[in-house]
Amino acid sequence: MEDKGHVLLKLLSTYARILEAYRDRIDRLNVFPVPDGDTGTNMFFTIRSAVDVIDAQSGSEQSQSGSAGRFKEISKGALLGARGNSGVIMSQVVAAFCSVFGAHSDQPVTAKDVESALEEANTRSRGAVLRPVEGTILTVISDVAKRAKSLGENLDLGDFVRGLFDEAQASLERTPSLLAPLARANVVDSGGAGFVLFVAGLCRILSNGDFDWGTDRPFLFESRVPGPTRSKEDDFVAPSESHELGPRYEVMFILESHDENVMVNFREVWAGLGDSIVVVGQDGTYNCHIHTDDIGGSIEAGIAGGLLSRIRVTDLFEEIAEERWVVEAHGAGAPDPFSAETDVIPNTAVVVIANGDGIRRIFRSMGVHRIVQGGQSMNPSTEEILLAIEEVPGDNVIVLPNNTNVTPVAQIAAEISKKCVRVIPTRGVVEGLSALVEFDPMVSIDENFESMSECAKRVTVAEITQAVRDYSDESGLVHAGDFIGLSRQGLVAVSKSLEDTVVDTIGKLLEDDSEIVTIIEGEGSTSAITREITQWLNINFPEIEVELHHGAQPLYPYLIGIE
């Protein structure tokens, strides 16, 4: 058996590869059937940050597995790179294994080492969460830690870790019975699923080849409990406005503070601002996570406690995973082939956030000065938007975030910038395009802000996408593979036919005074379907003008705007 140091390095590298392969499936374990989660992606980048430290250490004096401080650096890498609630918790699992396996790292791994690491992981992860909730990744970690203790350290190591893997799967399958939203959505906990894959990686390393991933693969995405049923004949209705969805925003940042009393006060302030609070630290560096409706108060509490960096705000109600963007997008603020270049210094410049080659070309043609590439769940950081603001010509800048997920981050960038920056909270690409109709670079920022804001408000927007799993609640019945139309009020239409879904969505959103319908084609659209949609509009609503654009946006075959 290899020594603990090398086993840990192999475990983290193996886990990163497993997460990379399965992160999209974990992302889809959500309470709504669109491809709108990022738990798997967050966990992958958390572990990837630890592996990056390992790679950077390779060839250095610290490349010896027993070098002092090596495992502490790996642990801190996971901490600083942690994203999302599950990512922060997973960074504590990494910290626990680094602590236990890093001690006497030149000695062989034993079942007792694994038991101790899991016990410490359970203690660290629960200690980091202000109000632990059962039915989440915390429960799966606890159950596996308890199982490790009951199995006993005298069991063969391979049998020991396979027993842990069996318990991890069983615990994951129980999560819907412990957490009502999971039961209603008919899914298991996504963070727990990510931890099951960690235990699978442990089995791969410690089973001496006896763990067959092809045979023993956990049916993570087949585990379901009976969900609520609804007749196909039932009408689709918008979700009740009184339905409590919890805090709207996820706020994360790195806080530098070496005063424990300050951190105690910080935790107390946050306790009154939201939930899903996770604060974990090492050597005065803390990764802080909260779900809240008070973005400003949450950030101000951090400023009062120390130095902030890596501020990240996500709108949980609008979170949409755009996996391809994670791979393809280059840093915002870098030279952008779609940005407008001009020698004239405008009175007002515009920065937009957009994804899709066609959409960026449209924005460029409308005089936008800088385009920050970004999507929804993987929204650009404050620093990226700030860099774009600073690079555009002139001292007055309007930002069009084109997504409620990005708006809070853009507002923070506006506050930090020394320029005069105004953010128009456009909720989608169509609103952004509509606002730009009124843009005049040679008039004042106040005039532009007023006219562009009014124009954006006049647009009704809808998105057409495809459900990734079955779903049923008061909004309607959806099956995996169905095309669904979503407006700001919720589910509007559903059908097996993409064309029927688009037509039904437009028909339900048209008003007596509607004049223009804008259709933006994305990936998955076809010229034949687009032609049928436009013909339907021309026949049934001849007075309405139809504008057609090719946006090439991922995940959404059609974006709709009605003015």
pLDDT at 188 over 90: no
CATH number, domain 249-315, options 3.40.50.12280, 1.10.1840.10, 3.30.70.2730, 3.40.50.720: 3.30.70.2730
Contacts of 536 (CB under 8 A, 6+ apart): 503
Region 131-159: mean pLDDT is 89
Region 100-113: mean pLDDT is 88
pLDDT of residue 65: 45
User: Is 323-457 in CATH node 3.40.50.510?
Assistant: yes
Residue 291's nearest CA partner among 320, 251, 327, 255 is 251
Encode pLDDT of 434-480 as tens digits: 899 889 888 999 999 999 999 888 888 898 988 877 877 666 688 88
Question: What single-letter DSSP state applies at residue 380?
Answer: P
Residue limits of CATH 3.30.70.2730 in the chain: 249-315
Report the distance separating Cα 183 and Cα 228, nearest Å.
Answer: 9
Among the listed ranges 184-193, 203-212, 325-334, 428-437, which one has the minimum average pLDDT value?
325-334
pLDDT at 342 over 50: no
Contacts of 484 (CB under 8 A, 6+ apart): 33, 34, 464, 465, 466, 467, 478, 491, 493, 494, 501
Question: What is the β-pairing status of strands 396-400 and 349-354?
Answer: parallel
pLDDT at 222 over 60: no
User: What band does 212 get if pLDDT is binned at 50, 70 and 90?
Assistant: low
Give the rounded percent of residues in the chain with a pLDDT score beyond 90.
Answer: 26
Helix/strand/coil for 276: strand
Residue limits of CATH 1.25.40.340 in the chain: 4-216
Please state which CATH class domain 4-216 belongs to: mainly alpha
Report the distance separating Cα 517 and Cα 562, nearest Å.
Answer: 5
| Identity at 518, one-letter amino acid code | T
Give the rounded percent of residues in the chain with a pLDDT score beyond 70.
Answer: 82
Region 333-344: mean pLDDT is 43
User: How many residues comprise the chain?
Assistant: 563
pLDDT of residue 326: 33
Instruction: Check: CB of residue 432 under 8 Å from CB of residue 456.
Output: yes
Among the listed ranges 9-18, 78-87, 250-259, 389-398, which one has the minimum average pLDDT value?
78-87
Classify the phi-psi angles of 184: left when phi > 0, otherwise alpha if psi is within -120 to 50, otherwise beta.
alpha
pLDDT at 527 over 70: yes
Report the distance separating Cα 419 and Cα 70, nearest Å.
Answer: 43
pLDDT at 552 over 70: yes
pLDDT at 557 over 80: yes
Instruction: Check: CB of residue 397 under 8 Å from CB of residue 424.
Output: no
pLDDT of residue 489: 77
Residue limits of CATH 3.40.50.510 in the chain: 323-457
Report the distance separating Cα 90 and Cα 141, nearest Å.
Answer: 10
Residue 537's nearest CA partner among 547, 525, 527, 546 is 546
Residue limits of CATH 3.30.1180.10 in the chain: 460-562
Chain centroid to Cα 372, Å, comes to 18
Q: How far is the CA of 278 from the CAs of 282, 292, 317, 448, in angstroms? A: 14, 12, 20, 41
Encode pLDDT of 274-318 as tens digits: 888 888 888 888 888 898 888 888 888 888 888 888 888 876 665
pLDDT of residue 121: 94
Report the distance separating Cα 227 and Cα 544, nearest Å.
Answer: 42
Region 4-30: mean pLDDT is 87
Region 326-335: mean pLDDT is 36
Encode pLDDT of 34-53 as tens digits: 544 678 888 998 899 899 99
pLDDT of residue 258: 87
Instruction: Check: CB of residue 510 under 8 Å from CB of residue 494.
Output: no
Instruction: Check: CB of residue 124 under 8 Å from CB of residue 96.
Output: yes
pTM value surpassing 0.75: no
Instruction: Check: CB of residue 109 under 8 Å from CB of residue 206.
Output: yes
Q: How far is the CA of 376 from the CAs of 240, 405, 515, 554, in angstroms? A: 24, 6, 29, 11
Question: What single-letter DSSP state applies at residue 279?
Answer: E
Architecture (CATH level 2) of domain 460-562? 2-Layer Sandwich (3.30)
Among the listed ranges 3-12, 163-172, 225-234, which one has the minimum average pLDDT value?
225-234
The gap between the terminal CA atoms of the chain, to the nearest Å, is 68
Phi, psi for 58 (deg, rounded to 5)? -60, 130
Mean pLDDT of the chain: 81
